[in-house]
Amino acid sequence: MKKLIVLACLAFASPVFAADAEMGMVLGTTIPEVQSKLTEMGYEVRKTEMEHGKIEMYFVKGKTKGEVYVSTTTGKVTKLKFK
């Protein structure tokens, strides 16, 4: 019974440990959608702007800094850099 409870807890807790941002991942087509999705994934968004028709966001997660470019038509990550 304890194993079942532990497995159930892990199944429901897994969204908390969401995956890191990756190429091709769909984050949204608007700035608020992308920012919300990154925040849910544990990133702190530091700066947001539009560049060449794409959403550009600079973020921090722990000691990792990065930037992500997202298509406003598909919502997919088109460029991702970690520093």
| DSSP at 26 | B
Any domain includes 70 = yes
Q: What is the pLDDT of residue 21?
A: 87
Any domain includes 24 = yes
Structure tokens at 62: 């722990």
User: Total structural domains in the chain?
Assistant: 1
Any domain includes 1 = no
Q: Which domain holds residue 70?
A: 18-82
Any domain includes 12 = no
Q: What's the pLDDT tens digit per position in 8-18?
A: 444 444 444 45
CA dist 65 and 24 (Å) reads 19
Any domain includes 11 = no
Q: Quote the pTM value.
A: 0.75
Q: What is the pLDDT of residue 18?
A: 52
Structure tokens at 55: 């959403």
CA dist 19 and 42 (Å) reads 9
CA dist 41 and 44 (Å) reads 9
Any domain includes 55 = yes
